[in-house]
Amino acid sequence: MITALFIYNSKGDVLMSKLYNEGVKRNISDVFRIQVMSVNSQHYSNGGNGGREVRSPVLTLGSTSFIYIKSGLLWICAVTRSNQDCSAILEFLYKLESLLKVMLDETPGEKVLTEDLIVNNFSLVYELLDEVVEFGYPTNLELSYLQNLLTSVSANDKIFKLSNNALAGAKSLNSGLSRRKTVKLNSLNITWRNPDIKYRRNEIFLNVEEKINVLMNAQAEVLKAYVDGKILMKTHLSGMPECRFGLNDDSLVLNSMSADRSAIPHSGSVTLEDCKFHQSVELNKFDSDRVIQFIPPDGEFQLMSYNCMLNINLPFEVYPQVHQLGNLRLLYKLRIKSLFPSKIPATGVQIKIPTPKGVINSYSTNSLGKSKYHPEENYIIWKFNKFFGNQEHDLTAEVEVPHSSDADIKNLLNWTRPPIKLEFTIDMFSCSGLTVKFLRVQEKSNYRTVKWVKYTSQSGSYDIRY
């Protein structure tokens, strides 16, 4: 989002610069100085009568945009490439300005950014710019979060003073929140949860939701398959509980950028890639013990997302056969087999079988469910209310196209045969094989917690070629 960030003094000199991504060079700062700062300086030097004043906070030149604010005599400018969300970047710049004011200006009263404050605290400001933006995207600007990240001695001293000042001001701004509770919250470095939450019934819900995408041929051989998964939580817990749950003992986390996949163990293992966690998760615990430990926010949130591209548990296999009978008819024979446990039902199962356009006659028979030709969609749709595991069912269908000209025969012969599409939802089944071994909640009051764990797998793009 943000390619570079510059802080200028009133003369147009660059006090601080930070390049986050490739695409611009440092001399891009001269463009902003000439196009914005020099024009405004000329306008005011002539008493507002000469030259033009640049009032817009965004200057776009070609594919490069300069988004800026003015703080006292200083200018803070973010440089972006291509089309970006200017309102989000402006909001970030104003929050950065407020953060710099409180961190650098220790004088009471209204705080003002000056050139001396930036120059005298160069290392602190540079380290701060490095922490609040990651790969061009703004991150967390909370003081309690930054307190343990800035490593310089001067940074820690100022953050400590800042925390005290912020706590003193919080009491006057919000009389309902006591100083003691605010100090406790900041000491734990937890900005996503209030310690005063109370529930009569303490519950925690953990949902493992996966979407499987498959492309297979007519022999049910998998050409491509991957799973997009996420773990959703809903917590109704009192106080400041610590939650822990463990995954499969043989689960393995890989980086998707890594080309070395030879270290993958036996075929029954669980392979997760591109794992992304909520900020509350203690990552060192997951790396060492495969245990996810966190103090959760209140309510609903996404704890984790992941991908799986290896050792996938396919829920269905489909074996299609399509034969052309003469010049005007097609015969379909379809067999679908479920591979999940027999006690688990799949719901919303629907198979869409494409047909040529302009079908004038059709019939179908099937061993279970209902099938019907839909001329508006050019599909034979085979539906099941419930499809239990370890079952096989068959469908036979025939369609006929009109014979009004040789063009109809040619269209049938040249029919592109779009893939058969399968839709379904299966509860208590994981396509990646991910399982939760245990779920524990610890809190100093030692209350009893009701725990719920649920798995849901559904189709994404589940296509069968024939």
Q: What is the dihedral of CA 185, 191, 196, 202, to 10 degrees?
A: -130
Q: What is the dihedral of CA 106, 108, 110, 113, to 10 degrees?
A: -20
Instruction: For residues 166 and 153, give the distance between their C-alpha atoms in angstroms, rounded to a whole number.
Output: 20
Q: How far is CA 288 from CA 247, 282, 285, 292, 457, in A?
A: 12, 11, 5, 10, 28
CATH topology assigned to domain 316-427: Immunoglobulin-like (2.60.40)
**3-state class of 412 per DSSP?**
helix
- pTM score > 0.75 for this model? no
Instruction: For residues 346 and 351, give the distance between their C-alpha atoms in angstroms, rounded to a whole number.
Output: 13
Q: CATH classification of 4-43+54-147, choosing from 3.40.50.720, 1.10.357.10, 3.30.470.10, 3.30.450.60?
A: 3.30.450.60
Nearest partner of 231 among 453, 6, 464, judged by Cα: 453
Domain 316-427 in the same topology as domain 4-43+54-147: no
- Residue 184 bridge partners (DSSP): none
Q: Which residues of the chain have pLDDT under 70?
A: 41-54, 144, 147-148, 150-189, 250-268, 404-411, 413
**Are 134 and 125 a contacting pair, CB within 8 Å?**
no
DSSP structure class, residue 313: -
Q: What is the DSSP string of 69-115?
A: EEETTEEEEEEEESS--HHHHHHHHHHHHHHHHHHH--SSSS----H
Instruction: For residues 204 and 206, give the distance between their C-alpha atoms in angstroms, rounded to a whole number.
Output: 7
Instruction: For residues 244 and 237, give the distance between their C-alpha atoms in angstroms, rounded to a whole number.
Output: 14
Nearest partner of 458 among 211, 214, 213, judged by Cα: 211
Q: Kind of pairing, strands 450-464 and 203-216?
A: parallel
**3-state class of 361 per DSSP?**
strand
Biggest alpha carbon distance in the chain?
92
Instruction: For residues 462 and 464, give the distance between their C-alpha atoms in angstroms, rounded to a whole number.
Output: 7
Q: Kind of pairing, strands 392-400 and 361-366?
A: antiparallel
Q: What is the pLDDT of residue 173?
A: 37
Q: Kind of pairing, strands 58-61 and 438-442?
A: unpaired
User: What separation, in Å, do the N-terminal and C-terminal C-alpha atoms of the chain show?
Assistant: 43
Q: What is the pLDDT of residue 220?
A: 93
Q: What is the pLDDT of residues 19-28, one digit of tens each?
A: 888 778 888 8
Q: What is the pLDDT of residues 418-440, one digit of tens each?
A: 999 999 999 999 999 999 999 99
Q: Is the CATH number 3.40.50.300 carried by domain 203-313+429-464?
A: no
Q: What is the pLDDT of residue 82?
A: 80
Q: What is the pLDDT of residue 153?
A: 40
Where along the chain do its domains lie? 4-43+54-147, 203-313+429-464, 316-427
